[in-house]
Amino acid sequence: MIKKDAVKDTIVSASLNGIRSSPRKMRLVVNIIRNKSILKSLDILKYSSKHKITIHLRKLLLSLLSNYRQKYMEDSKKYLYIKEIMVNQGKTLKRLRPVPQGRGHRIRKRSSNVLVVLGIRNGN
């Protein structure tokens, strides 16, 4: 849950829903880029080994930058950082896998929802 005081000084946010990867796997990558500058986190995602997840996260961060440019008409990427990033569970597809003796085991294909909030650091 996002804190109420964080929403007040939120600059720009972006979200991505229904990524076909489990939230647990997604959080492994998200925890690496939390509280890092936007440029540094894009570089980290570019060379990460979790390729399927990082493609979606890079697109989300580029969308976040685009939202910032549209709102403020300036390009100060130097001081922008990921203030808050959350991964929640999305819809779960339930499938049946046949097993011996006429039974079926349930397979849960999980998906994720990601929310990113952008912040500005002082020029220190």
Q: Give the CATH number of the domain where residue 23 resides.
A: 3.90.470.10
Tens digits of residue pLDDT in 45-100: 999 999 999 999 999 999 999 999 898 877 777 789 999 999 999 999 999 999 99
Query: Does residue 1 or residue 32 have the better pLDDT?
Result: 32
Percentage of the chain lying above the pLDDT 90 cut: 77
Contact 53, 25 (CB under 8 A): yes
Strand 12-19 relative to strand 103-120, pairing: antiparallel
Query: For the chain, what's the residue count?
Result: 124
Computed over every residue of the chain, the mean pLDDT equals: 89
> pLDDT value at position 8?
52
> pLDDT value at position 7?
47
pLDDT at 4 over 60: no
Say how far apart CA 115 and CA 7 lie, in whole Å: 12
- The boundaries of the domain holding residue 43 are 4-120
Domain count of the fold of the chain: 1
pLDDT at 6 over 60: no
Burial of 122 (0-12, 13-18, 19+ CB in 10 A): exposed
Burial of 38 (0-12, 13-18, 19+ CB in 10 A): buried
> pLDDT value at position 2?
56
> pLDDT value at position 24?
96
